[in-house]
């Protein structure tokens, strides 16, 4: 099937405790050309991200046999990133579906499901999110001055480590994912604080803090640029 995205450039993390389900999902995605990693628990998922970096998309089951459940995994990851997530679960309660889509997920697929439809939904989400320039490796080298580690929520400024807050990390993730494009202030506000009413003044505070941490001259930013009345962009270097 033809598609307008290069699937082999996308990495997908599958979180499901059932081995047969892992095989079904990963086989369908691999046949479509995606790179796939599978994990059996939320803790394994977090460890996978710390080892290999953020994927381009995660498929997550809700119920886990022990430890964190799928929603807690989503909450942890989305505290510092804007990782696209599709829930893939047997839970079909309306309240859970609505709450999950509202807070965490780009889409929600209930089991049993058609593998072809699942792949189509994955493609649709990735197409909407866009083919961002930076792969979310453990350390993303921007240039010789700036390196960012999203899984560890820190940056290296001229090789010196600088810790980022979860919100600062997520803001930088959103901007870098759309590197070279202006991201509207409204879009950023909705992604950073989806359950709150937030205004641009609040966003300006975080832009200011982030510039102070990663820019050589915060008053003359090189990376995080403003477009008055529209939003912000991360400059391609």
The residues, ordered by sequence, that sit 6+ positions from 229 with a Cβ below 8 Å of its Cβ are: none
Q: 42: closest CA among 64, 12, 75? A: 64
Q: What is the pLDDT of residue 65?
A: 84
The residues, ordered by sequence, that sit 6+ positions from 74 with a Cβ below 8 Å of its Cβ are: 60, 85, 103, 104, 105
Residue pLDDT, tens place only, 52-61: 999 999 999 9
Q: What is the pLDDT of residue 180?
A: 87
Lowest mean per-residue pLDDT among 3-7, 30-34, 70-74, 163-167: 3-7
Question: Residue 1: is its pLDDT beyond 60?
Answer: no
Cα–Cα distance measured from residue 158 to residue 161, given in angstroms and rounded to the nearest whole number: 8
Cα–Cα distance measured from residue 7 to residue 124, given in angstroms and rounded to the nearest whole number: 12
Helix axes 19-31, 115-129, angle to 10 degrees: 60
- Mean pLDDT on 159-175: 95
Could you tell me what percent of the chain has a pLDDT over 90? 75
H/E stretch holding 185 = helix 185-192
Question: Residue 2: is its pLDDT beyond 70?
Answer: no
Question: Residue 165: is its pLDDT beyond 90?
Answer: yes
What the chain holds in terms of domains, given with CATH numbers, is: 7-129 (3.40.50.2300), 140-234 (1.10.10.10)
Find how far residue 54's CA is from the centre of its chain.
Answer: 7
Classify 130 in phi/psi space as left (phi over 0), alpha (psi -120 to 50) or beta: left
- Mean pLDDT on 146-174: 94
Classify 87 in phi/psi space as left (phi over 0), alpha (psi -120 to 50) or beta: beta
Q: 104: closest CA among 64, 72, 74, 68? A: 74
58 three-state secondary structure = strand
**What pTM value is reported for the model?**
0.86
Residue pLDDT, tens place only, 122-143: 999 998 876 554 556 789 899 9
Sign of CA dihedral 45, 19, 71, 31: positive
Q: What is the pLDDT of residue 6?
A: 65
Q: What is the pLDDT of residue 28?
A: 97
**Cα angle vertex 37, ends 36, 38, to 5°?**
120
Contact 234, 180 (CB under 8 A): yes
Gyration radius of the chain's alpha carbons: 18
pLDDT band for 202, please (50, 70, 90 cuts).
very high
230 three-state secondary structure = coil
Higher pLDDT, 168 or 134: 168
Cα–Cα distance measured from residue 52 to residue 106, given in angstroms and rounded to the nearest whole number: 23
Find how far residue 150's CA is from the centre of its chain.
Answer: 10
Question: Residue 70: is its pLDDT beyond 90?
Answer: yes
Residue with tokens 């590197």: 179
Lowest mean per-residue pLDDT among 2-16, 79-93, 194-208: 2-16
Question: Residue 4: is its pLDDT beyond 60?
Answer: no
């Amino acid at each position: 099937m033809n598609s307008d995205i290069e699937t082999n450039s996308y990495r997908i993390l599958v979180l499901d405790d059932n081995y047969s389900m892992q095989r079904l999902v990963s086989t369908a995605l691999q046949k479509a050309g995606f790179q796939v990693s599978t994990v059996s628990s939320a803790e394994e998922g977090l460890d996978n991200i710390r080892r290999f970096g953020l994927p381009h998309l995660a498929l997550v089951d809700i119920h886990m046999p022990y430890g964190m459940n799928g929603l807690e995994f989503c909450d942890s990851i989305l505290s510092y990133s804007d990782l696209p997530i599709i829930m893939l679960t047997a839970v079909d309660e309306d309240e859970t579906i609505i709450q999950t889509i509202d807070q965490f997920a780009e889409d929600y697929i209930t089991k049993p499901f058609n593998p072809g439809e699942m792949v189509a939904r994955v493609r649709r989400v990735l197409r909407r999110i866009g083919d961002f320039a930076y792969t979310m490796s453990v350390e993303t080298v921007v240039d010789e001055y700036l390196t960012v580690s999203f899984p560890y929520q820190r940056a290296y400024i001229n090789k010196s480590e600088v810790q980022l807050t979860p919100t600062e990390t997520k803001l930088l993730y959103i901007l870098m994912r759309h590197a070279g494009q202006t991201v509207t202030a409204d879009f950023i506000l909705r992604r950073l604080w989806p359950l709150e009413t937030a205004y641009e003044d609040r966003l300006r505070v975080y832009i200011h803090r982030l510039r102070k941490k990663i820019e050589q001259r915060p008053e003359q930013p090189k990376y995080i640029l403003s477009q008055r009345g529209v939003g912000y962009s991360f400059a391609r270097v």
